[in-house]
Amino acid sequence: MRKLTILCGLALVLIGGVSAWRALHPSLNDSQQIEAALTDMKHAVKNGQTRRLVDYLAPEFQWRDYSRDFIQKNFGGFSLQWRDAELHLADVKVRVEGESAISDGSFTLIYRNRGTPNLETRAGHFQLFWEKRDEKWLVVKADGGENIEP
């Protein structure tokens, strides 16, 4: 009987803990989910994590002549040449319309090529087109780039 009482007590503590956690951490709305994805993408660039970045790109993703497959195969090589990489996003706006969304803003990429002491900077404007698929937001297309104004 004592074991049953202890097990029931532990179960109640576990259920109470989960309920409290959910109450303190409500689900993100669609705009917040996209903002969180952008933050995670920034960290992926900083850490040279190709797979983490590509996970946010839809299979048909396109930016200029670059596809998702191209980025998946080549980003690792580019990031291996960088050190001290930082991607900053500013003036980011997210507009959600149903299962589609657009995020835009400006970016600054600061990095140092391996073997050189000088920092290099690339800056411009970006626009990402998102679609919600299986409860996850994916980038289907990107516009913008270096030295492009909004």
Residues 105 and 72 sit within 8 Å (Cβ to Cβ): no
Q: Letter for the amino acid at 22? A: R
- Convert the pLDDT of each residue in 7-43 to its tens digit: 555 555 656 555 454 555 558 899 999 999 999 999 9
Q: Residues 65, 69, 75, 77: is their CA dihedral positive or negative?
A: negative
The pLDDT of residue 53 is: 86
Residue range 69-81: mean pLDDT, rounded = 71
What dihedral angle (degrees, nearest 10) is formed by the CA atoms of 32, 99, 109, 64? 180
Identify the band that residue 77 occupies on the pLDDT scale cut at 50, 70 and 90.
Answer: low
What would the two tokens of residue 140 be? 């289907």
> What structural domains and CATH numbers belong to the chain?
27-146 (3.10.450.50)
